[in-house]
């Protein structure tokens, strides 16, 4: 009889522990990847405190997936359309009530890790359905902004508008959605009255380790930005912008935002940003000229048809 009681007691404890572990699932980390073998291990190692890691891969051809399989992560493959679409897809695959979205070249610092753990009890409180309070009554925020510290060529930069680089990354599942432009997606709350808060510790962002990598990234993002501008029909006054916008960008980053205090890196970033703007304006100008030529050809074609008639 006692043996049966002990057996039943053990089964009950196991069931309760299983239910408790499901209840306590708080944070799902989401990462989108494509050929990130240089960065992904460092990123995943910094996420050992979350309850679930979701990786959405755009069919990498390097060792990204092999490295991910060394960790306790859930891997899904999805054709890349834009960054926002991938991140929204990642959220749809997550189980936790809170989403921590980070990029493959980012690392949660020890200080930020501890800060998130410190508020985990509040996240659990929110999960229990008791957080539907207004901001005025002290309700828990729907979204937390993380402060990124950017590293260029293995060196942290502080000026030139690079720090603090606040980004919305930790949010309640279903409370927000990523926009889906070609580039520069942002996370927007579904409720315009939703509450946000800032965390004080750094999310480390290791952007580029070499000049070649930086140039390659700049060109890729410039091309995506041009597509976005053309799609939104914002390509106006290009000739004027081609002249003044690059100069304004350099003065903004190097002088107004004190990029000169970062030494050589600050100067390099200001100059490269200036050329990046020039490159975008040049591409838009070329697009405008080609559009005019196509338009003239169409007009000529229609005029020829009318004359024949």
Percentages (nearest 5) of helix, strand, coil residues in the chain: 50, 20, 30
Structure tokens at 293: 């030529």
For residue 75, the cross-strand partners are 55
Q: What is the rounded average pLDDT of the residues 117-124?
A: 75
Whole-prediction pTM? 0.78
Please give the angle made by the CA atoms of 264, 149 and 260, to the nearest 5 degrees: 25
Q: What is the rounded average pLDDT of the residues 207-229?
A: 79
Task: Please say whether the beta carbons of 113 and 204 come within 8 A.
Answer: no
More confident residue, 239 or 22: 239
| Other Cβ atoms within 10 Å of 228 Cβ, number | 15
182-216 confidence digits (pLDDT tens): 888 999 999 989 999 999 999 999 998 888 888 88
132-150 confidence digits (pLDDT tens): 443 344 567 999 999 999 9
Task: Please say whether the beta carbons of 94 and 170 come within 8 A.
Answer: no
Burial code of 34-59, b = ≥16 C-beta within 10 A, e = fewer?
A: ebbbbbbbebbebbeebbbbbbbbee
Q: What are the DSSP E strand ranges found in 34-164? A: 52-57, 74-77, 98-101, 106-108, 143-152, 155-156
Confidence of residue 235 (pLDDT cuts 50, 70, 90): low
Per-residue model confidence (pLDDT) at position 87 = 98
Please give the angle made by the CA atoms of 268, 228 and 166, to the nearest 5 degrees: 55
What's the full length of the chain, in residues?
A: 309
Q: What is the rounded average pLDDT of the residues 247-268?
A: 95
C-alpha–C-alpha distance, residues 28 and 53, integer Å: 6
C-alpha–C-alpha distance, residues 279 and 285, integer Å: 10
Cis ω before 164 (30° cut-off from 0): yes
Per-residue model confidence (pLDDT) at position 22 = 38
| Other Cβ atoms within 10 Å of 74 Cβ, number | 16
Domain boundaries, the chain: 2-207, 211-308
CA distances from 152 to 17, 56, 211, 214 (A): 46, 26, 9, 9
Per-residue model confidence (pLDDT) at position 1 = 53
Domain 2-207 in CATH 3.90.550.10: yes
Task: Please say whether the beta carbons of 195 and 106 come within 8 A.
Answer: no
Q: Identify the CA nearest to 84 among candidates 172, 179, 173, 169.
A: 179
Q: What is the rounded average pLDDT of the residues 76-92?
A: 97
């Amino acid at each position: 009889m006692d043996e049966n009681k002990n057996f039943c007691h053990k089964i009950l404890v196991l069931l309760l522990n299983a239910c408790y572990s499901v209840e306590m699932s708080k944070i799902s980390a989401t990462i989108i990847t494509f050929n990130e073998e240089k960065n992904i291990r460092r990123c995943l190692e910094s996420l050992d405190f979350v309850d679930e890691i979701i990786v959405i891969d755009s069919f990498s051809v390097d060792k990204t997936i092999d490295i991910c399989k060394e960790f306790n992560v859930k891997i899904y493959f999805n054709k890349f359309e834009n960054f926002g679409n991938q991140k929204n897809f990642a959220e749809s695959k997550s189980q936790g009530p809170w989403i921590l979205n980070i990029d493959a070249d980012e690392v949660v610092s020890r200080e930020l890790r501890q800060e998130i753990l410190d508020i985990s009890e509040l996240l659990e409180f929110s999960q229990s359905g008791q957080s539907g309070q207004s901001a005025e009554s002290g309700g828990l925020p729907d979204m937390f902004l993380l402060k990124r510290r950017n590293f260029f060529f293995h060196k942290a930069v502080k000026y030139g508008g690079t720090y603090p680089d606040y980004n919305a990354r930790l949010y309640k599942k279903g409370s927000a959605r990523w926009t889906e432009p070609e580039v520069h997606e942002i996370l927007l709350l579904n409720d315009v009255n939703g509450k946000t808060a800032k965390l004080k510790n750094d999310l480390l962002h290791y952007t580029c380790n070499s000049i070649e990598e930086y140039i390659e990234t700049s060109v890729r993002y410039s091309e995506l930005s041009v597509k976005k501008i053309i799609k939104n029909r914002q390509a106006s006054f290009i000739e004027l912008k081609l002249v003044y916008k690059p100069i304004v960008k350099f003065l903004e980053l190097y002088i107004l935002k004190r990029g000169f205090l970062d030494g050589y890196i600050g100067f390099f970033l200001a100059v490269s940003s200036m050329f990046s703007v020039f490159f975008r304006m040049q591409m838009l100008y070329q697009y405008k000229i080609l559009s005019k030529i196509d338009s003239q050809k169409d007009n000529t074609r229609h005029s020829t048809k009318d004359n024949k008639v």
